Amino acid sequence: MVRRYAHLSPNHLTEHARKIDEVMGFNVTNLALLKKVADN
């Protein structure tokens, strides 16, 4: 069971978040904040 969800580990998610931040050009880790920035 642990192996099944190993891809959801914080390190794995951090790597993907970093890649998304690089593509978007800014560092926003909170989706609510991202929406607030997009609305302005």
Rounded to 5 degrees, φ, ψ at 34 are -60, -45
Residue 19: pLDDT band with limits 50, 70, 90: confident
d(CA 15, CA 2): 20
The reported pLDDT for the residue numbered 29 is 60
DSSP letters of 17-33?
HHHHHHHHTS----HHH
Which tens digit of pLDDT belongs to each residue from 2-14? 667 767 778 777 8
The residue extents of the domains of the chain are 3-39
Mapped onto helix, strand or coil, the DSSP state of residue 15 is helix
The reported pLDDT for the residue numbered 10 is 80
Rounded to 5 degrees, φ, ψ at 26 are -150, 165
Tokens describing residue 37: 């920035």
Rounded to two decimals, the pTM is 0.39
The reported pLDDT for the residue numbered 15 is 80
Tokens describing residue 15: 């790597």
